[in-house]
Amino acid sequence: MEKNIGTVDKIIRGIVGLVLIFVAANDYVGSNVFSVIIFILGLIFIFESMFGFCFIYKIFGINTNKNRDQKENTPTTG
């Protein structure tokens, strides 16, 4: 899985994911169905920021990862 999310994009997605989970957990939405949907969206944003991959970006060919060329060609130590 090729990383297609950059650092700033990861930070924004992580913050938005946490806010969505907070909103869903505190029942600010008013409906249980909407709370579950918002909670799931928050989890998706959190997982995308953790793994650096967005399926929708892959479909449309978007890549915000500026370091993709440098990371692929550098050898790993260990």
Could you read off the pLDDT of 17-64 as tens digits, one per residue?
999 999 999 877 778 899 999 999 999 999 999 999 999 999 999 898
Domain, as residue range, for 31: 7-62
Residue 76 maps to a domain: no
Is residue 1 included in any domain, yes or no? no
pTM of the model: 0.78
Instruction: Output 55 or 1, whichever has higher pLDDT.
Output: 55
In whole angstroms, give the CA distance from residue 15 to residue 36: 18
In a domain, 23, yes or no: yes
Which two three-digit tokens encode residue 63?
């890549």
- Tokens 């806010």, located at residue: 19
Domain count for the chain: 1
Q: What is the dihedral of CA 34, 58, 69, 78, to 10 degrees?
A: 60
